[in-house]
Amino acid sequence: MRVASNNIEVVFGKGIGHVIEDLLMHASKRIWIMSPWISEKYADFLISKKNKGLEVKVFTSDNFRIESHKRAVKKLFNVRYEWNKITIFVLIAYLSILIVLSFLITPAFLVFSILAAPAKKWLKKTNVEKIIDVEIFDNIASLTHAKIYVIDDKVVIASANLTESGFYKNLEAATIIRDEEVVKNIENYLSNLVHNPSIRKVELSKLSL
């Protein structure tokens, strides 16, 4: 259902995402989004908009217990791996132990599956770079719950996360505001979040991507 009055439009029900998605698809200048969870589909979409020259900003949470959210956030970064001398030494020692254990325990692949899985985290040093402007907030210290979409000269305050479920499966609601002063205030609010000492950001070096 949709109702509108002056510069405000309200949509609610299942499938409200088609309204928000239409605004996102036709954005020509900027897309700023605050959403606790995002999906891989929309992460790819935001990157494509960035590549087309739009100003794209994302404010989200580090609630990576949701595996799909973790995969989506990972898409927003370039994660590179660098080897150093200590790492190489550890790798040689690790492989030596692995070879010995493979002779002692049958089948050998069982040992490999148990030990090799965490090896990537033990042996690689990550260098994380943003593909788009993204800020991640500590989900415990600074729970991110608002869903805000600043699209060109409009702002959408919604209950729906930037996910397929939020947009098309759940019963949700959204208010679309086309008021210059309101949009400016929301823009200032989001811009100042990163400088707010009461809001705990997650450092890129500590992201478990």
- pLDDT tens digits for range 103-138: 665 555 555 555 555 555 554 545 778 999 999 999
Residue 14 covered by a domain: yes
Condensed to tens digits (0 to 9), the pLDDT of residues 46-104 reads 999 999 999 999 999 999 989 999 999 999 998 776 656 566 666 677 667 766 666 66
Same domain membership, residue 136 and residue 119: no
Regarding pTM above 0.85, the answer is: no
Please give the residue range of the domain that contains residue 111: 84-123
Same domain membership, residue 134 and residue 65: yes
Same domain membership, residue 59 and residue 147: yes
Q: How far apart are CA 70 and CA 162, in angstroms?
A: 13
